[in-house]
């Protein structure tokens, strides 16, 4: 119910416009979003790198409505890869296909991503296709398969709460493609996804262990200490090298745990979103964790 409620709020244009124009809301959102300009995000990642953390840039925005917007977003990603190279940052990039123009046609998105992959490839860098709502799962994987025939520096995200994901994990292991495994943040019907958190956690645990054992440098994207400890025990029991995988977390969440994992010798990557289109992302973070809402409300009454 909480996730469904925030999903509705994220689609409310009046509330979105109010939040985007409200200095307090923007300030609180900075806990999860590394600013609105590329330079601000570069400074954040430089600091993360200095503390032993890798990063992935995400320029916020989705469901663009014109080809010009899609091309502009792709241009921004190319410039982002240039900035990573110029500043010597330990970071790759993540992108949403709807920001590349997927709603306007698969060809639009494909061509834009190819341009980004070409630039990333020239720098020896990597691009991750984020997964969006279930309406886009099939087409995202179809475009990924097409890209994979030409590029080996592309990976994809799979969501553990979808019933279909064990099959998708097996396919990606077979391809030797890099997977980021997350739980899933979109409001999905019970016909497609586990409605109960315990079931999602159980599936996540099984897929996580399979990817660590058989996958190609998977990203274990979770803030759940129980799952992280399970991964650590599994790795120790199986004698798996720590450089075979990485943990991943969101910017602004469980920074203490991120730091501890690095100190313990694990690879740790932080997902760093930035950009003016921060509102939908911000609302999904609130929907995922009630503690995030408590943080927001407590800040509303502080000067």
Catalytic residues: 130, 180
Place of tokens 């969440």: 253
What is the C-alpha separation between 28 and 286, in angstroms, rounded?
12
Q: 296: exposed, middle or buried (C-beta count within 10 Å: 0-12, 13-18, 19+)? A: middle
What is the C-alpha separation between 234 and 218, in angstroms, rounded?
15
Please report the DSSP string for the chain in residue order: -HHHHHHHHHT-HHHHHHHHH-HHHHHHHTTTS--SSHHHHHHHHHHHHHTT-EEEEEE------SHHHHHHHHHHHHHHHHHHHHHT--EEEEE-GGGGTGGG-HHHHHHHHHHHHHHHHHTT--EEE----GGGHHHHHHHHHHHHTT-SSEEEEEETTBTTHHHHHHHHHHHT--EEEE---S---TTTB-SSHHHHHHHHHHHHHHHHHHSSS-EEE---HHHHHHHHHHHHHHT--GGG-EEEEETTS-HHHHHHHHHTT--EEEEEEESS--HHHHHHHHHH-HHHHHHHHHHHT--
Residue 196's alpha-carbon distances to 58, 177, 212, 273, in angstroms, are: 29, 29, 25, 28
């Amino acid at each position: 119910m909480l996730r469904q409620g925030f999903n509705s709020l994220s689609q409310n244009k009046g509330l979105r416009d109010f939040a985007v124009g409200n200095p307090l809301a923007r300030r609180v959102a900075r806990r999860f979003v590394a600013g609105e300009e590329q330079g601000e995000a570069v400074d954040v990642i430089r600091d993360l790198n200095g503390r032993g953390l890798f990063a992935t840039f995400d320029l916020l925005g989705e469901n663009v409505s014109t080809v010009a917007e899609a091309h502009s977003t792709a241009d921004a990603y190319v410039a982002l890869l240039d900035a990573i190279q110029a500043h010597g940052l330990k970071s790759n990039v993540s992108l949403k296909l709807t920001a590349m123009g997927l709603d306007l046609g698969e060809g639009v998105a494909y061509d834009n991503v190819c341009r980004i992959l070409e630039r990333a490839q020239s720098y020896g860098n990597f691009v991750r296709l984020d997964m969006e709502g279930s309406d886009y799962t099939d087409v995202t994987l179809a475009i990924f398969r097409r890209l994979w025939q030409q590029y080996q520096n592309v990976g994809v995200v799979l969501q553990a709460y979808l019933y279909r994901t064990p099959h998708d994990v097996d396919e990606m292991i077979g391809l030797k493609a890099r997977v980021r495994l997350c739980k899933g943040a979109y409001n999905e019907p019970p016909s497609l996804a586990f409605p109960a958190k315990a079931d999602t956690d159980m599936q996540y645990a099984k897929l996580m262990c399979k990817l660590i054992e058989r996958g190609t440098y998977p990203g274990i994207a979770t803030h759940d200490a129980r799952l992280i400890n399970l991964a650590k025990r599994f790795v120790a029991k199986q004698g798996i090298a720590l450089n075979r995988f990485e943990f991943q977390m969101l910017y602004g969440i469980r920074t203490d745990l991120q730091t501890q994992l690095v100190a313990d010798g694990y690879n740790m990557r932080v997902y760093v979103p930035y950009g003016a289109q921060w509102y939908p992302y911000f609302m999904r973070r609130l929907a995922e964790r009630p503690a995030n809402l408590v943080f927001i409300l407590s800040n509303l009454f502080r000067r």
